[in-house]
A and B are shown apart, each in its own frame.
Chain A
């Protein structure tokens, strides 16, 4: 016993050093695993508060651009409504089909208060949290496409696993056919992502549009992603399909968080299968 105590006293700084390093390592390991919410995250009230203060200043420099984006989206949505007005007459005489009008998704508006794009594992912080109904694993989009998936949630803030994160994998498909693949990032250019696992049967061309596939419960089908920039074929498989995003990931402001009402049901079903 005496020896143990004297050993501890003699090496107390080394043991303290070791203890702190082990703590730091375990936080690091936790941050490298994909699905878990992390203990060290910027969604807490201090970091979130600081970032929203900083953002309050920075916002002014990009107001014009964000305005244009919102106008663009407004115009697109107005067009949608205008088009749907055409067949209301038809709908009026048909029986209301409850499965057709069953709402599947709702959107929560949010603002990006901290954007990150220069690392390999990037996270975005947004100014909504559990108070606003945000949960773990919800899709985040803006008018020009996919942004990421929510990760750690606090009361007023949340972090988003950006698509610019090597752990991020999102189900996507070609606009023109039903060939699916996964969207991932190799860490180089923050506006160019990679499409992997695309079957060779898919006949792709430079400039083809990629949209979300809707096979996961996180994103609905048909949200914009980008266009094919270039691709190589090797051994009769697609080696590297580069995708240019519609978004400029270095400048994102207003976003929407997607709540999927069917997620629970689908997840339960799929769990039963396994």
Chain B
């Protein structure tokens, strides 16, 4: 399948799944995983980072529109989109020549897991910090970040397996 078509499907599909199903889970009263950041994780690695930044902003903002949450999802998603490339470089020691053939899923499992974990934790920490917006709430922010991250990471790994089985 064409890469552009595939990524557009993923973009819209992730918003639909997030809004219709995942935002209504309310596990333990408040835990809702944010699977939509899967888009930032699987988006093809390129030298040109502008497109990913803009798409991440639009993805986050769409979620914000549905959740009435201002710009918290947009801010968090743009941040992980920006720090994705430096993180991949640090984890894999790959150079820009390798990128056209590089696929996130081909990473050894431990590296893949730590990549997903760092991305997810960063995203959730920014998200909840901006949402609560109070230093006094630091404990709530941390506990929500960690609990929600666990669910998001598990979901992302399952989705990655599922996406790759189809090929």
Contacts and interface: CB of A to CB of B under 8 A. Distances in A.
A30 interface: yes
A26 B71 contact: yes
B30 A44 contact: no
B65 A40 contact: yes
Contacts of B32: 118
Contacts of B102: none
- Among A24, A26, A50, A54: residue with most chain B CB under 10 A: A24
Contact of B65 (A14, A16, A20, A47): A47
B100 interface: no
B61 A40 contact: yes
Nearest to B66: A47
A78 interface: no
Interface string B102-136: 00000000000000000000000000001111000
Contact of A118 (B30, B74, B82): B30
B68 interface: yes
Contacts of A182: none
A16 to B, nearest CB: 5
A44 B64 CA distance: 12
A132 B104 CA distance: 51
Nearest to A57: B20
Interface in B29-81: 29-30, 32, 49-50, 53-54, 57, 60-61, 64-72, 74-75, 78-79
A185 interface: no
* Main secondary structure on B side of the interface with A: helix
A40 B72 CA distance: 11
B68 A27 contact: no
Interface string A24-65: 111111111000001011101011001100100000000000
Given A27-B70, A40-B68, A42-B68, A20 B131 contact: no
A121 B131 contact: yes
A51 B82 CA distance: 31
Interface residues of B, number: 31
Nearest to B82: A17
B19 interface: yes
B82 A28 contact: no
- Among A14, A31, A123: residue with most chain B CB under 10 A: A31
B132 A24 contact: no
Contacts of B70: 27-32, 38, 40
Given A44-B65, A50-B19, A17 B78 contact: yes
A25 B60 CA distance: 12
Closest 8 CB pairs of A and B: A31-B70, A27-B71, A24-B71, A24-B75, A123-B68, A24-B74, A28-B70, A118-B30
Given A13-B82, A30-B70, 15 more contacts: A13-B49, A17-B82, A21-B78, A21-B79, A23-B57, A24-B60, A24-B75, A25-B75, A27-B64, A29-B70, A31-B69, A51-B66, A116-B67, A118-B29, A121-B69
24 contacts: A16-B54, A17-B82, A20-B53, A20-B54, A21-B75, A23-B71, A25-B130, A27-B70, A27-B71, A28-B70, A28-B71, A28-B75, A31-B68, A40-B61, A42-B66, A44-B65, A46-B65, A47-B65, A50-B19, A54-B19, A118-B29, A119-B131, A120-B131, A121-B131
Interface of B: 19-20, 26, 29-30, 32, 49-50, 53-54, 57, 60-61, 64-72, 74-75, 78-79, 82, 130-133
Interface of A: 12-14, 16-17, 20-21, 23-32, 38, 40-42, 44, 46-47, 50-51, 54, 116, 118-121, 123, 125, 159
